[in-house]
Amino acid sequence: MHRLENRVQPYAWGSPTAIPHLLGRPADGTPQAELWIGAHPAAPSAVVAGDGGRAGLDEVLDAAGVPRPPLLKVLAAAAPLSLQVHPDRATARRRFAEEEAAGVPRDAAHRLYKDDEHKPELLYALEPFAAVAGFRAPAAARELLAGLPLVGLPAATDALLAALLDDLAADDEGEALRAATSRLLTAEADVVGPLVQAVAVACAGSDDPSALCANHLAGHHPGDPGVLVSLLLNQVRLAPGEALYLPAGNVHAYLWGTGVELMASSDNVLRGGLTPKHVDVPELLRVVDFRVLPPPLLAPRRVSADELVLDPGVGDFALAVLTARPGTVTTWERAVPRTLLCLEGEVAVTAPDGGELVLARGQSAFVLPAEHPVTARGEGLLVAATPGEPAPG
């Protein structure tokens, strides 16, 4: 078993306090957005040896012939993240190969596909968490927009609004959403900007969650058409202990909150707005799933009195949530790469050879497949990230 030290990504939208609080460190006032725990080459965890030496987890696993595990993160958002979508595996492989053949540097700001993997992901809320994710019925968005007191718009902006309402009235819901999203994200800035501003003002003080969300987003990204796209999406609110799952094609944006995020070990993100980073609308529109979907909540499966498992069934990852209690021992038999993070209290993890690591709040470890079965005991809250369960048969 390997104790880990992990990197924090200081993205501008990050909370200055949540991750320092988890790690027991003083906050320094700077944004600390994501704690990365895993072997992703962009920010691999460090394995801490008994003599104090350090080695990258990616290097350790490559030397041992162990596949790289899913990427575990603690995500702490004080401001909205970008409007984004992730590709499926076939698209990622094809488009990555095309960009490689074209000689686009992997670290270029306009590079779209950093690797050839898909990036499904789940988020387990540690605090109240808000997001917009997946399309709702276009009629609901049309009713909201049509009911707003939008007066005095420039002629071109008024024409855009009329066309948008026509898009959303189409009989085919998927085509209605495709047309409306495309129209908004490809409109000229001086045409769509006034509509974003007018909608934000009209939504202020509303009791409609979508209207309030648009007003909130406009405060962070004035004039951005992603504000209007948010009206087309489901509002998702997670209480602590609830989770969501985002498959390929699900357009989404996290708004605020802190949670544990688990995903395939990929960095493929296609952005459509609400960000200063590179935006590629045509590529996003090619990847997005325009079906009307319910809010993407992920229900846990209880495997014991102390353990829940979140497994979306894609095979890439699953997240076990263990509430360790005095006098009880949990045993994990399945010999797979296992990434552990203690969220509360103190939990001791023991391998068959007698090796033991005690993990306190904010501490993490990696267990090799050969070190199973592994046991956990103590008093606290521990999450364990693994590959998903194999399909029956």
**Under 8 Å between Cβ of 236 and 244:** yes
What is the pLDDT at residue 42? Answer: 86
Domains of the chain, first to last: 2-132+237-281 (2.60.120.10), 135-230 (no CATH), 301-386 (2.60.120.10)
Please choose, from the candidates 66, 70, 39, 58, the residue with its C-alpha nearest in 3D space to the C-alpha of residue 314. 70
More confident residue, 117 or 139: 139
DSSP SS3 for 329: strand
pLDDT digits (tens, 9 = 90+) for 18-72: 999 999 999 999 999 999 999 988 899 999 887 778 899 999 999 989 998 999 9
Burial of 218 (0-12, 13-18, 19+ CB in 10 A): buried
- Give the separation between CA 178 and CA 166, rounded to whole angstroms: 12
- Give the separation between CA 206 and CA 159, rounded to whole angstroms: 25
- Give the separation between CA 301 and CA 313, rounded to whole angstroms: 12
| Global confidence as pTM | 0.94
pLDDT digits (tens, 9 = 90+) for 172-190: 999 999 999 999 999 999 9
Clarify whether 89 is annotated catalytic: no
Burial of 352 (0-12, 13-18, 19+ CB in 10 A): exposed
Confidence of residue 391 (pLDDT cuts 50, 70, 90): low
Give every CB contact of residue 25 below 8 A, 6+ residues apart in sequence.
Answer: none
pLDDT digits (tens, 9 = 90+) for 272-283: 999 999 999 999
The sign one gets for the Cα dihedral 21, 22, 26, 31 is negative
pLDDT digits (tens, 9 = 90+) for 202-255: 999 899 999 999 999 999 999 999 999 999 999 999 999 999 999 999 999 999
Instruction: Characterise 210 by phi-psi region: left (phi > 0), alpha (psi -120 to 50), beta (else).
Output: alpha
DSSP SS3 for 110: coil
Peptide bond into 247 cis (omega under 30): no
- Give the separation between CA 85 and CA 88, rounded to whole angstroms: 10
Please choose, from the candidates 346, 361, 355, the residue with its C-alpha nearest in 3D space to the C-alpha of residue 374. 355
* Among 3, 95, 136, 271, the one annotated catalytic: 271
Amino acid at 354: G
What is the pLDDT at residue 267? Answer: 86
What is the pLDDT at residue 331? Answer: 97
Confidence of residue 113 (pLDDT cuts 50, 70, 90): very high
pLDDT digits (tens, 9 = 90+) for 338-379: 999 999 999 999 999 989 999 999 999 999 999 999 999 999
| Statement: residue 393 has pLDDT above 90 | no
Q: How high is the mean pLDDT of the chain?
A: 96
